[in-house]
Amino acid sequence: MTGPSGALSLLGRLVDASNGTFLAADEQDRHWVYKPVAGEAPLWDFPTATLGHREVAAYHLSEELGLGLVPLTVWWEGPLGEGSVQRWVDGAPSELIDLLEPTAVDETWLPILTGLSGDDRPVVLAHRDDPRLRQLALFDAILNNSDRKASHVLSHDGALKGVDHGVSLHHHTKLRTVLWGWAGDPLTDDELALAARAAGIDAPLAPGLADEEWEAVTARAETLLAEGVMPQPSERWPSIPWPPM
């Protein structure tokens, strides 16, 4: 499948999204998440009218690296104009990331930060030491994902899918994620090979972004290869998206 079959029909708006985001169906009743350019709210730190292109580019980067982490995402002319459309994932946010009571955090969890719940109870943001999450964390580092919330990691048929990549691929470092549990860990041979593949990308994988943003992809991959460890939080940029869940 290369995209929707025929015209899209709007089924409703996804009201939790910060930008105009819609559930749509194609002529074969397949469901898609449609993000028209017209629904994008301007951001101070990202070029105007590029968020949908970043969604498409994230899909192509995932495919180029052989990861399959991002649902099929294409550029499309929809009922509200051009924008990105992503194949709907019939799944739920992964249970591999959670807010836990401190006593529930055992050796199977990697704690990220502590805080207070809405009713002032101590809680710990943590994720499992799971290889699927670690692969996603490395992909996010190459992608420069600025918004990896727990709700953006979906579980579907035993696999994980990452969604909502509109604020990624900036040429300045903006990595914000809840997946910091492996920060500073040595990269495995497979992870080094993945970084080397990303470092070898010599042309844009999708239209709509500046050349310097694609050049930054290879630069980040080269940094991973040179340092040989999973990325660590920057002191110059908030490292956790808000809200984290």
pLDDT digits (tens, 9 = 90+) for 166-204: 999 999 999 999 999 999 999 999 999 999 999 999 999
Q: In what order do the strands lie in the sheet with 159-162?
A: 92-93, 153-156, 159-162
Q: Which two tokens stand for residue 105?
A: 């955090």
Q: Which of 205, 143, 150, 201 is nearest to 175 (CA)?
A: 143
Residues 8/23, Cβ–Cβ less than 8 Å: no
| Residue 118: per-residue pLDDT | 76
Residue 77, beta-bridge partner list: 82
Phi, psi of 232 (to 5 degrees): -120, 155
| Residue 19: per-residue pLDDT | 87
CA angle 119–121–127, rounded 5-degree value: 115
| Residue 58: per-residue pLDDT | 98
| Residue 1: per-residue pLDDT | 62
In angstroms, rounded to a whole number, what is the distance separating the alpha carbons of residues 215 and 230? 20
Q: Please, which residues have CB within 8 angstroms of residue 171's CB and are 6 or more apart in sequence?
A: 210, 212, 213, 215, 216
| Residue 157: per-residue pLDDT | 84
In angstroms, rounded to a whole number, what is the distance separating the alpha carbons of residues 213 and 193? 22
Residues 98/150, Cβ–Cβ less than 8 Å: yes
Burial of 164 (0-12, 13-18, 19+ CB in 10 A): buried
Low-confidence ranges of the chain (pLDDT < 50): none
Whose tokens are 């409703």? That residue is: 12
pTM value is: 0.95
Cα-based torsion angle of the residue sequence 108, 243, 59, 90 in order, rounded to the nearest 10 degrees: 70
